C-alpha cells in the first residue's frame, strides 16, 4: 500500500506523462501525441476548418442578396420545397437574410476555432524554438 508521502515521488504521475498537466502556461496549450494521431488530427481539423469557412462565406454571400443571385434564391427555393409559398416568405426575407448571415458567421468562427484547437497538438520530436537557448539573437 502506498501512503500519501510516497505518491509525489512516483515516476508515472500525471505531470510526467506526455500531454499531462504542467505548471508552464505555454506547455499547457500544447498536447504531445503520437505521430500517427498528430497527422490524423492535422489533416481532419484543417479539412473541417476549410470547409466550414468556405461554407460560412457562402452563407454570408447569400445573406447579402437573398433574391438577387442564385445562392440567395437557393434558400428561398429550399423553403418553398418544404411547403412555404413565396407570398408567406416575402414579408420575412429580412429575417431570413439575418438567419442565413448568422449561420455564416457561426461557421466562419467555428472553422477558426477548429483550426486553432487542431494546432495545439504536436509530436514528441517537434522542437519548440522559443525554449532553445542555443541560438544567439541577431537583432543587435
What residues are paired with 32 via a beta bridge?
122
Which domain range does residue 86 map to? 31-124
The most confident of the ranges 18-22, 63-67, 105-109, 125-129 is 105-109
Q: Is the pLDDT of residue 23 over 50?
A: no
What's the CA gap between 27 and 128, in Å, rounded?
10
Mean of pLDDT over the chain: 75
**Residue 138 domain-assigned (yes or no):** no
- Asked whether residue 14 carries a pLDDT value surpassing 50, the answer given is no
pLDDT at 9: 44
Burial degree of 72 (CB within 10 A; 0-12, 13-18, 19+): buried
Q: Tell me whether residue 111 is in a domain.
A: yes
Domain membership of residue 6 (yes or no) is no
Residue 17 lies in a domain: no
Question: Radius of gyration over alpha carbons of the chain, in Å?
Answer: 25
Contact 89, 96 (CB under 8 A): yes
Model pLDDT, residue 91: 74
CA distances from 138 to 45, 135 (A): 35, 9
Say what the pTM is: 0.63
- Mean pLDDT confidence for 119-132: 74
pLDDT grade, residue 132 (50/70/90)? low
pLDDT digits (tens, 9 = 90+) for 42-59: 999 999 999 999 999 998
The number of distinct structural domains making up the chain is 1
pLDDT tens digits, 26-45: 556 788 888 899 999 999 99
- Compare 77 and 71 and report the one with higher pLDDT: 77
Higher-scoring residue by pLDDT: 128, 1: 128
The reply to whether 118 falls in a domain is yes
CA 128 to chain centre: 22
**Any domain includes 106:** yes
Amino acid at each position: 500500500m502506498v501512503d500519501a508521502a510516497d505518491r509525489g515521488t512516483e515516476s508515472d504521475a500525471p505531470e510526467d506523462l506526455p500531454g499531462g498537466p504542467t505548471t508552464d502556461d505555454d506547455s499547457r496549450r500544447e498536447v504531445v501525441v503520437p505521430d500517427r494521431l498528430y497527422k490524423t488530427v492535422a489533416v481532419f481539423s484543417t479539412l473541417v476548418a476549410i470547409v466550414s469557412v468556405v461554407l460560412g462565406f457562402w452563407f454570408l454571400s447569400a445573406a447579402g442578396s437573398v433574391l438577387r443571385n442564385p445562392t440567395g434564391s437557393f434558400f428561398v427555393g429550399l423553403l418553398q420545397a418544404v411547403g412555404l409559398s413565396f407570398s408567406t416568405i416575402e414579408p420575412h426575407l429580412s429575417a431570413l437574410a439575418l438567419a442565413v448571415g448568422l449561420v455564416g458567421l457561426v461557421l466562419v468562427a467555428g472553422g477558426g476555432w477548429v483550426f486553432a484547437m487542431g494546432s495545439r497538438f504536436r509530436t514528441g520530436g517537434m522542437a519548440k524554438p522559443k525554449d532553445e537557448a542555443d541560438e544567439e539573437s541577431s537583432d543587435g
